Structure 1
Amino acid sequence: MTIDNNRAIAAAVVAMAGFNGVFLSANGLFMLIDPLTWYELVPGVTDTGFFNQHFIRDIGMIQLFLGVAFVLGMLVPERRIGLWAAATAWLSAHALFHFWEVAVGICSPSVLPRDFPAVTLPAILGIVLTLWAIRRSRSGQPVAA
């Protein structure tokens, strides 16, 4: 691989981890600070049940922790695999749950594209990032991007 390819890959890794870190942290903070506004503004949330500030704040804490895990993984490369894998496990389970709801008829398939940016995309990015970090570690390459 050339230096230019390595730089492009490093830039892509930083962009993906940065997106997950910033998006998840910001969403978590929003859920913690103003759960009612979050509930009313996020498309599709009002279709999932009544407003429950406690539940929204619980999930907000999870979202914040996930975002911090992606940021810490960028900053502390020797902890990257564990941080990203743990966060990705939750994100993947959450995305699969959305697909399950469609599969069993709880939701229509139209929810999948609507939910993609906030639910499925972070899981996909987490999977790509975690696999990249594992591959890099196994190949003996330096852990930094």
Structure 2
Amino acid sequence: MRFLLTPLALYHGANGALMLAAPELWYSIVPDVGHTGPLNAHFVRDIGLAFIAAAAGLVIAALNFKNSIALWPAAIFLAGHAGLHMAELGVHGAPPLAGARDLATIVVPGLLPLFLLTFPWKKEVRS
């Protein structure tokens, strides 16, 4: 699992760090975020902290997947965020490129931790 959890942790952690350190920059470079309303730097920083916390859970799980309890809070936040985007796409629609972008950058990376928790992995058998 480490080969999946580590890049996910880097991805979500970098996003959260940018949101926390430079909310104005984050707001200006993330496509279509302006459609959600004007910048609220405090709110962007709050969400950045949630992404950093999720990344920390991914790191802990990457270091010891047998202790997957650390992955649950990250999976709940990230899958919830992905689900919100899927619901908005379903209700409001999006141009094909925007939908594909959200799928690749939000939905898949958001649902992957939940998939890793619920997939019936075979336990390693030692003789």
TM-score normalized by the length of structure 1: 0.75
The residue identity in structure 2 corresponding to 1:58 is: D
Structure 1: stretches of 5+ with no match in the other structure: 1-12
1:83-122 equivalent positions in 2, closer than 5 A = 83-105=70-92, 107-108=93-94, 110=96, 111-122=98-109
8 Å CA contact 1:16–1:129 kept in 2: the answer is: no
Once the two structures are overlaid, the 10-residue window that deviates more, 64-73 or 95-104, is 95-104
CA distance in 1, matches of 2:88, 2:5: 28
CA distance in 2, matches of 1:16, 1:140: 18
Q: What is the CA-CA distance between 1:26 and the residue it aligns to? A: 0.8
Show CA shifts across 1:61-84 (max 9, x none).
00000011101111133422x122
Q: What is the CA-CA distance between 1:140 and the residue it aligns to? A: 5.1
Aligned CA-pair RMSD: 2.0
Alignment match, 1:50: 38
Alignment match, 2:58: 70
Q: What is the CA-CA distance between 1:14 and the residue it aligns to? A: 2.1
Q: 1:89 to 1:109 in 2, by over 3 A?
A: farther
Show CA shifts across 1:94-134 (max 9, x none).
111112112222x52543212123311212321232134xx
CA distance in 1, matches of 2:106, 2:123: 33
Show CA shifts across 1:23-52 (max 9, x none).
111111110000000000111212221011
8 Å CA contact 1:95–1:120 kept in 2: the answer is: yes
TM-score normalized by the length of structure 2: 0.84
CA distance in 1, matches of 2:87, 2:95: 11
CA distance in 1, matches of 2:91, 2:56: 33
CA distance in 2, matches of 1:112, 1:127: 21
Q: Which 4+ stretches in 1 moved above 2 angstroms?
A: 76-79, 102-105, 107-112, 139-142
Larger Rg: 1
